[in-house]
Amino acid sequence: MELKIGLLGGGSWGTTVASLTSRNCPTTIWARDIDTVNDINKNHRNEKYLPGLQLHESLKASQSLEETLRTADVVVVGIPSQNCRSVMEEAKSYIRPWVPIVSLTKGLEQGTKMRMTEIIESIYPQHPVGVLTGPNLAKEILQGQAAAAVIAMVDANIATALQQVFRTGLFRVYTNDDVIGCELAGALKNVIAIAVGMGDGAGAGDNTRSAVITRGLAELSRLGIAMGGKPSTFAGLAGMGDLIATCTSPLSRNRYVGIQLGKGRSIHDIIAEMSMVAEGVKTCSVVAELADHYHVEMPISQEVNKVVNEAVTARMAFRGLLGTKTRSEADPG
């Protein structure tokens, strides 16, 4: 049976995934912006978020949640983290029972500190819920460059079936049963990417970048494991793989935010000029709260939060990091 896909979210990553799945299954993507809907349907493009890149010609777009979801056999959610709850509640009337729901969003909800799959499960308790994540830069994938991702579901049979939905010749999809670890890795690495960008913007060298990435991986692994993730997940595509891509690519939104902060610009001015969401900006305060709650030391993430939310400068943050006590590299604290 040919599965029908309904994808929510017309941003760069949602559109890219919709273009991928449309190669394998009939896919309809929902977007609020009528210009985006028309651009996809008439021109097979999304110039607002993916200028100059061609989408698969069979992909359809709609401004109607009902039209997108009423016949969907799989629902894919690419909504920014702070809007995920409201959209999923609005969509509840149209999603059929038991349909699998897959999140693409790499963030945590402010206030509740919930992962996206937790939000979705609270609204759709009878549905299998998972996450697609990994080192996936939208523009590179649409340009035809090879990439790999992880589909994480508790039910291995559903994960294996969904592999066929997302996988294409140059987009390899692996399965994982660690939904918590995969999802946390995707959210937490954005905060580390801001830290790396801050160093780059301030003129730090490759040694500094490597140190921040490596110690950042230790931080996100500690918190992820404390929250129930598996250690092996953080050494894989969802963890180290995604962290490397986000911390080093010029296409990374979170690294860009960090670079601008490192140059001395205010977070308000940086966000105001961006058309796309950098999830790490909203996530860093949640990570700081979770670190306190689980008694996990996360000095890099804490300093990023201070720069974003407490008017500390990037240079002050790096001085603060240099002042922290160094212990054994293997110390879990």
Percentage, residues of the chain above pLDDT 90: 90
pLDDT of residue 143: 95
Mean pLDDT value across residues 303-331: 81
Position 311 confidence tier, pLDDT thresholds 50, 70, 90: confident
| b/e code 101-112 from CB counts within 10 Å (16+ = b) | bbbbbbbbbeee
pLDDT of residue 331: 67
CA atoms within 13 A on the CB side of 155: 11
| Pairwise CA distance, residues 157 & 124, whole Å | 20
Mean pLDDT value across residues 289-300: 96
Residue 122 has pLDDT above 60, yes or no: yes
pLDDT of residue 316: 86
* Model confidence pTM above 0.85: yes
**Beta carbons of 274 and 258 less than 8 angstroms apart:** no
| Pairwise CA distance, residues 303 & 319, whole Å | 10
pLDDT digits (tens, 9 = 90+) for 5-39: 999 999 999 999 999 999 999 999 999 999 999 99
Could you give the C-alpha distances from 213 to 177, 190, 233, 239, 279, in angstroms and in order? 26, 11, 17, 11, 18
Q: Which of 189, 230, 306, 325 is an active site residue?
A: 189
189 is catalytic: yes
Where exactly are the structural domains of the chain?
A: 5-177, 187-322
Helical segments of 22-105, H only? 34-43, 65-69, 84-91
Dihedral of alpha carbons 150, 153, 157, 163, sign = negative
pLDDT of residue 329: 67
DSSP bridge pairs for 6:
28, 75
pLDDT digits (tens, 9 = 90+) for 190-219: 999 999 999 999 999 999 999 999 999 999
Residue 80 has pLDDT above 60, yes or no: yes
The CATH code for residues 5-177 is: 3.40.50.720
Topology of the domain covering 187-322: N-(1-d-carboxylethyl)-l-norvaline Dehydrogenase; domain 2 (1.10.1040)
Residue 312 DSSP SS3: coil
329 or 253: which leads in pLDDT = 253
pLDDT of residue 275: 83
Residue 65 has pLDDT above 60, yes or no: yes
Percentage, residues of the chain above pLDDT 70: 96
**Beta carbons of 113 and 156 less than 8 angstroms apart:** no
Q: Residue 144 — left, alpha, or beta (φ > 0 → left; ψ -120 to 50 → alpha)?
A: left
Dihedral of alpha carbons 236, 178, 140, 4, sign = positive
Asked if domains 5-177 and 187-322 share a fold, the reply is: no
pLDDT digits (tens, 9 = 90+) for 206-263: 999 999 999 999 999 999 999 999 999 999 999 999 999 999 999 999 999 999 999 9
